[in-house]
């Protein structure tokens, strides 16, 4: 069995048929996961210096030189790499007194931080499979973003106390601003709440908990609360729609979860996409008490240390980009600034950022050509076993870069 590092589900039941160094068949994976294994040799990058192909030693020496001479370094990305690589990147940032940040700044890092600080009760996906009755997807289209989430752990499987499965033993709630494919599954034993404002929905739940008629979803909200009280184990999966819908007013959401837990058991798990985002957050939290947007020079986390803010404020002269493609995802006003500073890209595949980088260092694909450990969205650590072994991987590259600081 192999582990797919395609998303934060980290499915560890993947069966693969190989022939020499070719992947012939992949069993159990979703389409995205199967593609990672079947197409692992496509779109691979080569070592480059100033846009020209170089040998690896030339590229790594150039990267070392740039880092050694950098006065304001930032390290960014890391969520597709293993814990072992993330530890080395944090060590590099610490020794260089640099900034370090990852995608959780834009993604679900705020929710992970609340869990790590004990502000939101959480659980594991195995516990959800065995015990969860009401399963709510709030601002998350798991059908597309986490393709096996519902079939492995939540709505469809039989397990523990839920042997009759979704037909009788689960109650699905989907909360979103549009009727997503996940929402279309909310039919029997289910409710779909098409909302305009997440805070308005929270207020309606609070009204119902106070014994008043809710201002919206007059029939649905009392029904959902009644269903939750049938069991002592219910779970909410929060996605990006919830994060941005709350507009930073997390206290309202935390208070609602606390009030629900006065009546029954309600847990929360982030429904995120990046395979090892939580791993980075946990390592940073253990070391600094913060999860991202950190300056080792100033020994603190701040919004001004978010990677895009550093670019916006012209605060860095060098960026080490590991396993992500910010030029492809950042707004143009930030992206054009990244193209003007020294950029070192470490990635197995060709990226848009790599086209403009001073140095490109090709590495191995985690879970295909190199092993290690990742942390699932629920905090469970999962081991990756390589299908093939590649000598040059993120860990080897970071170790070389550490030699000069």
How far is it, in rounded angstroms, from Cα 357 to Cα 341?
Answer: 9
Measure the N-to-C terminal CA separation of the chain; round to a whole number of Å.
39
- CATH no. of 2-107+275-402: 3.40.50.740
Is 121 in contact with 267 (CB distance < 8 Å)? yes
Q: What is the pLDDT of residues 364-380, one digit of tens each?
A: 999 999 999 999 999 99
Give the integer Cα–Cα distance in Å for 366 and 385: 9
Q: What is the pLDDT of residues 248-301, one digit of tens each?
A: 999 999 999 999 999 999 999 999 879 999 999 999 999 999 999 999 999 999
- Decide: helix, strand or coil at residue 370: strand
- What was the pLDDT predicted at 233? 98
Which residues make Cβ contacts (< 8 Å) with residue 377, sequence separation at least 6?
A: 8, 9, 125, 269, 270, 271, 272, 277, 278
Per-residue pLDDT at 186: 93
- Which residues lie closer than 8 Å to 317 by C-beta, 6 or more apart? 70, 71, 72, 73, 341, 342
Give CATH 3.40.228.10 domain extents, the chain: 108-270
Q: In the prediction, which pLDDT does 32 show? A: 93
Q: How large is the greatest C-alpha to C-alpha distance in the chain, in angstroms?
A: 70
Q: Which residues contact 210 (CB under 8 A, 6 or more apart)?
A: none
E-strand stretches of 210-263: 234-238
Where in the chain do CATH 3.40.50.740 domains reside?
A: 2-107+275-402
| Cα(81)–Cα(129) distance, integer angstroms | 27
For domain 108-270, the CATH architecture is 3-Layer(aba) Sandwich (3.40)
User: What is the DSSP-derived secondary structure letter of residue 349?
Assistant: B
Say if CB 91 and CB 395 are below 8 A apart: no
Contact 134, 189 (CB under 8 A): no
* pLDDT-flagged residues of the chain (< 50): none
Phi, psi for residue 349 in degrees, rounded to 5: -115, 160
Q: What is the pLDDT of residue 188?
A: 86
| 277, 103 Cβ separation under 8 angstroms | yes
Separation between Cα atoms, residue 144 and residue 235, nearest integer Å: 20
Note the pLDDT tens digit of each residue in 62-100.
Answer: 999 999 999 999 999 999 999 999 999 999 999 999 999
Distances from the Cα of 122 to the Cα of 133, 148, 302, angstroms? 15, 20, 25
Collapsing DSSP states into helix, strand and coil, what is residue 256?
helix
């Amino acid at each position: 069995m192999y582990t797919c590092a395609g998303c934060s589900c980290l499915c560890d039941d993947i069966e693969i048929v190989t022939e020499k160094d070719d992947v012939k068949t992949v069993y159990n994976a979703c389409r995205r996961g199967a593609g990672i294994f079947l197409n692992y040799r496509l779109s691979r990058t080569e070592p480059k210096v100033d846009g020209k192909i170089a040998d690896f030693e030339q590229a790594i020496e150039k990267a070392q030189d740039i880092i050694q001479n950098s006065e304001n370094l930032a390290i960014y990305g890391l969520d597709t790499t293993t814990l072992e690589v993330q530890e080395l990147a944090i060590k590099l940032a610490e020794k260089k007194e640099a900034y370090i940040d990852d995608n959780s700044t834009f993604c679900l890092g705020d929710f992970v931080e609340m869990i790590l600080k004990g502000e939101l009760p959480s659980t594991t996906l195995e516990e959800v499979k065995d015990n969860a009755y009401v399963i709510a997807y709030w601002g998350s289209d798991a059908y597309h973003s986490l393709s096996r989430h519902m079939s492995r752990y939540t709505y469809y499987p039989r397990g523990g106390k839920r042997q009759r499965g979704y037909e009788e033993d689960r109650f699905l709630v989907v909360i979103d601003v549009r009727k997503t494919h996940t929402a279309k599954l909310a039919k029997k034993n289910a409710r779909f709440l098409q909302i305009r404002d997440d805070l308005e929905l929270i207020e309606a739940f609070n009204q119902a908990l106070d014994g008043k008629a809710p201002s919206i979803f007059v029939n649905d909200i009392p029904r959902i609360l009644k269903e939750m009280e049938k069991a002592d184990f219910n779970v909410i999966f929060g996605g990006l729609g919830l994060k941005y819908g709350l507009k930073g007013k997390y206290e309202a959401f935390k208070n609602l979860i606390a009030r629900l837990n006065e009546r029954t058991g309600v847990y929360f798990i982030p429904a995120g996409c990046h395979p090892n985002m939580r791993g980075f957050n946990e390592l940073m939290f253990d070391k600094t008490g913060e999860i991202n947007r950190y300056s080792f020079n100033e020994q603190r986390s701040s919004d001004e240390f978010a990677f895009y803010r550093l670019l916006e404020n012209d605060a860095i002269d060098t960026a080490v980009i590991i396993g992500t493609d910010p030029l492809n995802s950042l707004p143009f006003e930030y992206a054009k600034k990244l193209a003007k500073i020294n950029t070192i890209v470490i990635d197995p595949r060709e990226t848009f950022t790599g086209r403009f980088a001073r140095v490109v260092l090709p590495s191995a694909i985690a879970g295909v050509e190199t092993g290690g450990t990742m942390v699932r969205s629920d905090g469970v650590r999962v081991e990756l076993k390589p299908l093939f072994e590649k000598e040059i991987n993120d860990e080897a590259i970071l170790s070389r870069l550490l030699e000069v600081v």
